[in-house]
Amino acid sequence: MPGYILEANHLVKQYGALTAVNDVSFAVEEGEIFGLLGPNGAGKSTAIAILSGLFPPTSGGAAIGGLDVVHNLAKVKQIIGVVPQDLALYPTLSGRENVRFFGELYGLRGKGLQTRVDEVLGYVGMQERANDRVQTYSGGMKRRINLAAGLVNHPRLLFLDEPTVGVDPQSRNHIFESVARLNREQGMSILYTTHYMEEAERLCHRVGIIDRGKLIALDTPRRLIAALGGGIIQLGLATMDEAARAAIEALPAVRSATFATESTMKSAASRPAEVVMPVQANSKAVLKIEASHNNDALLQVLHYCNEADVEILSLDLLEPNLETVFLNLTGKSLRD
């Protein structure tokens, strides 16, 4: 049974009255891709900064490879790679020169350094443009060189903080393939933060969902989705009719029915898994219906609305995925 490459225990980070990370505990197994998911400002990057030794926690602690992150930071840095959300590259140097520079910071020299630079450039698909200056690259190419720099020291644990923000589809696919290959072929452990749920579903063995600094769920994507069940139906109604809400909630295939907030309404409009009817601008209220089985619940809801003469202005059917898991847990979109 694999051990843990990373253990975070009751991490707290406070900035005055703001608690950016609030009593967060989790562990990453050797050889695992672990996703830390949440909306912008949830505390993901702050957690990465603590775990990679950029600054200490206010309280709590963490260990990487059995080494305390605060008290053994020099040794910890030898076994981790960090790919920050903000690009850490020199624009007037070539991609190859940037990667070589970071390798020298880790003490790599000579032929070993040259070989490793070639290897990581190959992993990220940047051999053909490696000798061009970074300032001539697209945003996606810069991200790929940033990833190469984080790999140059043969890390056991790689931190990837929002690695695909603002990249083109081709570079995004290269990053996906690089991450999967590193994990599959080298057994590299990876902590991957993102607010794009399709990335987590595609790459991660387990995920932790963080919101407002707190870890609110932790499991495999499949189990988190299964725990939600049938998905979510959202009805745009002309009025916030409490009698209709209660009647719909009492239907056999419905777990709960609540009137949604404006942010929830926007989330459904921006990323429905299946749009049954388009969202109407004149919807006065959105009823969020958590279904145990979407098809049965949909038929029952439509039958009730027809019988009770309840006017439906819009209808969105959200099939279960990590986005709807988060929506169900917090009532807002992961991109908020």
Type and span of the H or E element at 305? helix 294-308
Q: 328, 52, 40, 53: which is closest to 212 by C-alpha? A: 40
CATH code that applies to domain 230-319 = 3.30.70.2190
Residues 176, 45: Cα–Cα separation, whole Å = 20
Q: What string of pLDDT tens digits covers the 336 residues of the chain?
A: 469 999 999 999 999 999 999 999 999 999 999 999 988 888 999 999 999 999 999 999 999 999 999 999 999 999 999 999 888 899 999 999 999 999 999 999 999 999 999 999 998 999 999 999 999 999 999 999 999 999 999 999 999 998 888 888 888 888 888 899 999 999 999 999 988 888 888 899 999 999 999 999 999 998 988 877 677 899 999 888 999 999 999 999 998 899 975 444 444 444 444 444 444 444 578 999 988 877 889 999 999 999 999 999 999 887 778 887 877 777 666 555
CA distance 52 to 67: 12
Q: First-to-last CA distance in the chain?
A: 38
Question: In terms of CATH, what superfamily is 4-225?
Answer: P-loop containing nucleotide triphosphate hydrolases (3.40.50.300)
Domain ranges of the chain: 4-225, 230-319
Please give the torsion angle defined by the CA atoms of residues 163, 271, 212 and 168, in that order, rounded to the nearest 10 degrees: 10
State the pTM of this model: 0.77
